[in-house]
Structure 1
Amino acid sequence: MAYRAIALDLDGTLTNHDKEVTPITRQALMKAQKDGAHIILASGRPTYGIAPIADHLEINKYDGYVLSYNGGKIVKWKTKEEIYSNHLPNDVISILYNYAKEKGHALLGYSGKEIITEMPDDKYVKEESRINKMQIRKINNLMESLEPNPTKLLMTGDPSLMIKAEEELSELVGNRMDVFRSAPFFIELVPRGIDKAQSLNRLLGLIGLTSNDMIAFGDGYNDLSMLKLAGIGVAMANAVPEVRAEADFITKSNEEDGVAFAIQKFCYNTDI
């Protein structure tokens, strides 16, 4: 194996428009695992939202890992051991909540297998539910319903409004936490210094590898640091322009088994 770690974003990268891993891509990843590669699923999704894909790829049998909440948590999937986690500062949560209320944006959190929000009918909240296959539970007060020490909150809204919201929130709390768009309609609200690259660096050190041993795949803004870190950073054909511009290679789209194509090309020097 030319690369002993394969880091994969999920939505728009590993999965197709139905949020499924196609048989061809699954076959390529199963072969890579059998040949000694560590599969690392690196997503902004909560851990519960990644679990079905982790199980479908059987990464528990081959020493795979889940990086959820954009790297806010790292879980060794074989044992379900949480080997790293970080949390939002408690005092910024009220600032985020009040901002969302004032601007009329949806704000959501996660509780076990559920998404919790005061705005369950927001179409982008419903998209988060669809992506993660998690039920939405309407609550009257998000501040009172959040689990202690959340790793991430998500703000949603029209893409044109989210650009301004990202800027304003960065000014409000950017010195205490990180604020960035993972999709045009999603703003990730996570602990400061948490991104996929930093968490991958931690994990690679734990398993005795370096960034040069890793190939990484992504399509969105929150994948940029991961692609820059990797020995080779692969952007999907459907990636946003900024990601394609920074990538070492642009593969086929997520609808065309782009992950499988690049694994064959760079890990096995063959074409599918």
Structure 2
Amino acid sequence: MIKMIALDLDNTLLNRDKVISHFNEKILRQLHRNGIRIVLCTGRPLKAVEQYIDQLGLNTDFDFTITFNGALVLNNATKKILFKHTLAKEDFRSLYQFAKNRALALGILDFKRVYPIIGLKEAHFNQHLRDVLQFVPTSFDDLKDIGYSKALMPDNDPKKLDDVQQNLPEDIKNRYHVVRSQPHLMEYLAPKMDKAVGLAELLKHLHLNFDQLMAFGDAENDAGMIKKAEKGIAMANAQPEIKSIADDQTLTNDEDGVGVYLKHYFNL
């Protein structure tokens, strides 16, 4: 029996205008009232998710959000951290050298700031990050040895990242979990870190398991939760690899795919 629904945001729950439609909101609010856990599960930081938490009414002591692709799990009401996984500065040294050798942009994130690395290609990060995270351009040598969440490698030309992804050295592949969260953005996470890791911690906390989970997604950073959920649902606009591992498929994010599927599945 499904007791939790994990939802990716960009290109899944959100339409092309980065909005949760009235229909999707209505369905999710109804399920939430019926006792189903609704968990937003995203690569974004919490501040970039709060408006959607408020819209869906997911702000009780019983509601949680998974951010930074699984590395941070928080209670929505208290902001108390349930789970947090960090990386050290030295964990990024080989990636920094790789970006320097290939003339690539690189930004390293803690949980509140983005540190675009000075001396590399100028970074063009997603505009929504600028509204919620402080940008602190820093040289790699001047980075403090604090806990970091991940690194981002953006490029306005997706074909450039296609080439990077296809030709990653083995040491980079082995040192990071590399995912393409959007066509113009590659993310470097801790090894084996993904949304399923954060979900595992949350499910354990709530005395639930993956057999009680339904997950919706569209991109590489959704693969872990799509595979492990009892019902992994791919959007019609999902990457082919995600469709191939999903249990089922729904309409696109611009056609209320999440709400349409849930209405039918739960006989609402």
Length-normalised TM-score, structure 2: 0.88
Q: In percent, how many aligned pairs have the same letter?
A: 30
Q: Give the superposition deviation at 1:178.
A: 1.7
SS of alignment partner, residue 228 of structure 1: helix
Equivalence map 1:123-202=2 (5 Å): 123=124, 125=125, 128-130=126-128, 133-134=131-132, 137=135, 139-141=137-139, 143-145=141-143, 148-157=146-155, 158-169=157-168, 171-202=170-201
Q: Which residue of 1 aligns with 2:50?
A: 51
Q: Give the superposition deviation at 1:3.
A: 2.1
Q: Give the superposition deviation at 1:147.
A: 7.5
CA-to-partner distance for each residue in 1:122-176, whole Å, 9 max, x for gaps? 44x1xx2236743673625255256821111111123233234335545223333
Q: Which residue of 1 aligns with 2:223?
A: 224
Segments of 4+ in structure 1 off by > 6 A? Answer: none
What is the one-letter code of the residue matched to 1:35? N
**Aligned partners of 2:14 and 2:144: how far apart in 1?**
29
The alpha-carbon distance between structure 1 residues 90 and 147, as it changes in their structure 2 partners (threshold 3 A), is closer
Q: Please, which runs of 5 or more residues in structure 2 have no aligned partner?
A: none
**Aligned partners of 1:120 and 1:26: how far apart in 2?**
40
Report if aligned partners of 1:129, 1:136 keep a CA contact under 8 Å in 2: no
**Aligned partners of 1:174 and 1:3: how far apart in 2?**
35
Q: Give the superposition deviation at 1:95.
A: 1.9
What is the one-letter code of the residue matched to 1:82? I
Report if aligned partners of 2:113, 2:134 keep a CA contact under 8 Å in 1: yes
The alpha-carbon distance between structure 1 residues 170 and 261, as it changes in their structure 2 partners (threshold 3 A), is farther
The alpha-carbon distance between structure 1 residues 55 and 114, as it changes in their structure 2 partners (threshold 3 A), is farther
Q: Give the superposition deviation at 1:243.
A: 1.1
**Aligned partners of 1:215 and 1:152: how far apart in 2?**
26
**Aligned partners of 1:173 and 1:112: how far apart in 2?**
23
**Aligned partners of 1:18 and 1:147: how far apart in 2?**
38
Report if aligned partners of 1:110, 1:146 keep a CA contact under 8 Å in 2: no
Q: Which shifted more, 22-31 or 161-170?
A: 161-170
**Aligned partners of 1:176 and 1:227: how far apart in 2?**
23
Q: Give the superposition deviation at 1:77.
A: 1.1
Q: Please, which runs of 5 or more residues in structure 1 have no aligned partner?
A: none
Q: Which residue of 1 aligns with 2:267?
A: 269
Aligned length: 265
The alpha-carbon distance between structure 1 residues 205 and 137, as it changes in their structure 2 partners (threshold 3 A), is closer
Q: In angstroms, what is the RMSD of aligned CA positions?
A: 2.4
**Aligned partners of 1:147 and 1:9: how far apart in 2?**
31
Report if aligned partners of 1:92, 1:173 keep a CA contact under 8 Å in 2: no
